[in-house]
Structure 1
Amino acid sequence: MANVIGSPERYVQGREVLKDLCKHVQSMGNAPFILVSQSGKGRVEAPISEGAKELGTKLVYEIFGGESSRNEINRLQKAYEASGCDVVVGIGGGKIHDTAKALAYYAKAPVVIVPTIAGTDAPCSALSVLYTDDGVFEDYLFLPRNPNMVLVDTEIISKAPARLLVAGMGDALATYFEARACQQSDSNNFIGGKYTVTSMALAKLCYDTLISDGVKALTAVHAGVCTKALENIIEANTYLSGIGFESCGIAAAHAIHNGFTAIEETHDCYHGEKVAFGTLTQLVLENASKEELEEVLHFCLDVGLPTTLKDLGIHQINKKELMQVAEIACGPNDTMGNMPFTVTPQMLYDAILATDALGKRYQAKASS
């Protein structure tokens, strides 16, 4: 089997690049169909219109329904076909990106992804995560190609809520550890091949960047400014993590996230927050070294990522519900099978509780 790496055709990152969106889109189409939230539209309409006016570009905005579900994709496909547009642009967070990519696939259109937050690694991948209309994980939609372009305006991201940047760091935190697990188990990546030296290096660089610049980037966002550290974390969350997870594969951390979507109390947590707890649980499953586990725990505590079940909104432990999480995560259609050893629901249940206990212990140490 071949070693394969996947990447968007072009990645553009910089301050105020959103005003150049229409110029970049010209190579793909003349009429962008812009999928965005209602609040997001208010933040991005002015700079996009500035560039559109200069070029005479027709713009059609469509408000996102809120969930990356098959029903929403079907609704949007009808709206796209009626619009006369010829390129899909998804502006916002991870679920908008996943929906825009799926819409473009079914509509046979090019797609441009524009994150307004650095909250997930969804922008660069040839993958859409699908949920039910109620927000419960349903399936992965594997796409034949990566987005035609990913455009990242760091000025906009620097003004987004700090929690969203932290959630992106939580998602990115899993990249190297899941890549390492897939390397050890010789599992396939999301492109139907094996990891490359380059993709493993990007996954490791992603982790190293989080450790070196994560706290500094969070401090910059709290101050409402865009520093070099923040630029680096935006790239790590968006590009390094996106290429790393897709071209190396994912394992326990994301499977655990998918399991937690079945518990209603966790629905107020972002994707990356649940993935961060899943990463800690994966390290417990692996019996990682004390030094490695402490480094990840301290990072999570420093930036405010969940380390306990209470942090995920679970204040009362329900054995039946946690076992359901474990059973979903270990299901045959998820990625727990990419671990280098067999993980049973009971093993995972125990690891979740052990992670919760560790998190409580280190939180107590940090506050003393």
Structure 2
Amino acid sequence: MKMLSTYRKEMKIAMRGFYFYIEIFIAVVMLLILLVAIKENPDSKQREYVFYDARPEVVELLFAKYIDEGKIVPAADTEIVMKPASFAVKNRDTGSTVSYSFDSAKTIMARTMREIDVDDGRIKKTIFLLDTEEDVLRLSHSSGQVGAIVSLGDRGTFSYRYILQGYETERLTNLLYVYNARSVDVLEQEMDRQAVRELGSTERLNARESAVPALITFAGSLMGFFIVMSYLFLDKDQGVIRALAVTPATVWMYLLSKTMVIMTTVLISSSIVVIPVMGLKPNYLLFYPFLLATTFAFAAIGLLVASFFDSMSKSFGVLYLLMIAFMLPGFSYFIGSFDPVWLRFFPTYPILYVFKMIMLGKPDVPYVLTASAGFLVGGLAVLAIANEKFKKTLTV
């Protein structure tokens, strides 16, 4: 009962301050962005630079087939300016490295094609047909996009060389090997002959829904991490927690009540974002426990970090460094080809993918429950360390 009384008191104090309403306001802004600025099925911004080492009539014949099928739509030629650049290209098969240096800028007109999704008509990617292999290398290097060099062999078959950036997953690289091992027509015939047994839901999140897990993670748990530190330093500045330095039994309840306030705020703000966008699609029985467990863990980390500093200004360096580190898995989430192993050790990495599973409505229940328990236990351990630290150093 004393814990609930402390929580109610802290909640009333929080509602009289502005941090509580800042998070609610941010949630409303995020909801408006999702509903207004992000389309459910937007056109892809992916670009691919291709050089065909073949006679023009062969290239025309190749694309004419896809144009007739509606898979490719010609677009107006694009003017591209290439800046001076120096870089090295490593051959994945032989291990040899070739260095390139281009001292002057170059402007070209690239023939442009758009690959279309025949199901919904949206643009899957934009293809730029270039005149030389060097142009492909320069543009792939400067833009970070995939480049391809397609050569016509003596037997009338095409061979492919892809220019990648080096951070692509092994799965993507192997897929490129398999996809170009045989002609597209043969692959389609082989796939049509395959016996397919559906193991589960093939439903996917659209672009708007895919943004929800990231917003919940970064504006939920990470905002909780930041705001709990703000509450602590505000109490220090106002002298509210002076007595805690000499009453060790109260420190634990005080810290726990702060995390409960953050959990309540995140619960409200996340619901503002999730329910209008996702409706009844997510498994809410798993969503809310996992949300509270992760928020609790990050709030505990915020308390631990705050215990080492006397003011918010002194903690800015560590605060921003940690927040940037926690945001890094977002690159892997939105850029599927970027998935280095070291990124998986960041706590926000599993959070993003568990939220995504939950949003789909049919998550791996044992995995989600295990992850929830892991964050809860980890949060309790961090909170216990923060409690001991505050007992020794809690001063105004």
- Calculate the TM-score normalised by the size of structure 2: 0.23
- Higher RCO (CA < 8 A, seq sep 6+): 2
The structure carrying a bigger strand percent of its residues is 2
